């Protein structure tokens, strides 16, 4: 294993230190935690509902890379592939509460759900208004070793983008929670891997694939998927994922948004080839794509792979997705 690190136990705090030192105009670290909060002038002068998310590290730029005007108010980083602790989540909640309440965006992993719930109870004891939405966009498996139900994966960033833009517009906490749940219900993702991720503390890939194999339906924590097959051209991979995802939508009319997401070790060249194939097939299928995004947005350390997210979107959501934001990662 070759990694550009110092000590394994220092990876997360040193990563957060580097992030805030290189973007001090955008974010600052909450003392005594590995959580970051907005540090821009607009945050200090304009009131809105606070938006907090977080989870295990190793998925960068999720979540800290999306803290800023128009997206998250704060993000909490746990250890690699491990939920942040309730006390750190609580500190993030209290740091962003401006009296209008706080919405928690949580990926559907048992540790995240439990620890965010505990932090929510702590904040409610301080009379802070809190709502939680749980992202479960991964349709490839119904359960995994980390979850109770579908996993939260790359669609999380689209939820954060839509909800963050709506919060900036002045939407209330209750309406933001309803909006976020509606977005989650209409967002579907499947991921594929050519090579598993290597967790630094483990020192070897989480699973093995032969040189000519690909795995469909993997998770962002090295969870296995639903099938191992021979590698196919990008067009055939795109067809497989599109077919499975579109089968989840009973109504294929109206506006759609897509995210082609790199898992950490896949060159952008290949991501754009795949995106071209996806958009060509969707156009052939008469699916109206009004927003598309490509890049390493929700990664799994150095995993070689890609995921496709398709959202059936209302026109207002497309507007929110297209609004400019001031963050590190979007």
Choose, from 63, 195, 204, 221, the residue flagged as catalytic: 221
Residue in the block written with tokens 């919060």: 167
Helix (H) or strand (E) segment spanning residue 256: strand 255-262
Choose, from 59, 63, 195, 239, the residue flagged as catalytic: 59
SS (H, E, C) 165-234: HHHHCCCCHHHHHHHHHHHHHCEEEEEEEEECCECCCCCCECCCCCCCEEEECCCCCCCCCCEEEECCCH
**Annotated catalytic residue 59:** yes
Contact present, 27 and 328 (Cβ < 8 Å)? yes
Q: How do the residues of the chain divide into helix, strand and coil, expressed in percent and rounded to 5?
A: 35, 25, 40
SS (H, E, C) 148-167: CCCCCCCHHHHHHHHHHHHH
> What are the residue numbers of the active site?
59, 221
């Amino acid at each position: 294993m070759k990694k550009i690190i110092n000590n394994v136990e220092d990876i997360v705090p040193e990563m957060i230190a580097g992030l805030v030192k290189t973007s001090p105009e955008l974010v600052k670290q909450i003392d005594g935690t590995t959580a970051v909060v907005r540090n821009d002038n607009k945050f200090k002068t304009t009131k809105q509902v606070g938006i907090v998310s977080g989870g295990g590290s190793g998925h960068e730029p999720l979540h800290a890379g999306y803290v800023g005007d128009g997206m998250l108010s704060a993000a909490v980083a746990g250890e690699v592939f491990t939920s942040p602790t309730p006390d750190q989540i609580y500190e993030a909640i209290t740091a962003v509460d401006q009296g209008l309440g706080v919405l928690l965006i949580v990926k559907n992993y048992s540790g995240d759900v439990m620890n965010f719930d505990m932090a929510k109870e702590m904040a409610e004891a301080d009379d802070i208004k809190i709502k939680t939405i749980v992202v479960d966009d991964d349709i490839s498996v119904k359960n995994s070793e980390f979850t109770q139900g579908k996993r939260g994966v790359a669609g999380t960033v689209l939820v954060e983008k839509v909800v963050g833009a709506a919060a900036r517009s002045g939407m209330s906490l209750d309406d933001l929670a309803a909006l976020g749940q509606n977005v989650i219900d209409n967002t579907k993702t499947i991921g594929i891997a050519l090579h598993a991720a290597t967790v630094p503390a483990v020192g070897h890939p989480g699973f093995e694939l032969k040189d000519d194999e690909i795995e469909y339906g993997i998770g962002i924590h090295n969870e296995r998927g639903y099938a191992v097959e021979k590698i196919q051209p990008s067009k055939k991979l795109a067809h497989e994922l599109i077919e499975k995802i579109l089968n989840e939508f009973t109504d294929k009319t109206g506006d759609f948004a897509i995210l082609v997401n790199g898992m950490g070790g896949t060159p952008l060249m290949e991501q754009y080839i795949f995106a071209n194939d996806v958009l060509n097939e969707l156009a052939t299928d008469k699916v109206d794509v009004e927003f598309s995004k490509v890049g390493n947005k929700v990664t799994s350390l150095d995993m070689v792979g890609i995921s496709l997210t398709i959202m059936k979107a209302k026109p207002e959501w497309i507007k929110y997705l297209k609004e400019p934001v001031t963050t590190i990662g979007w």
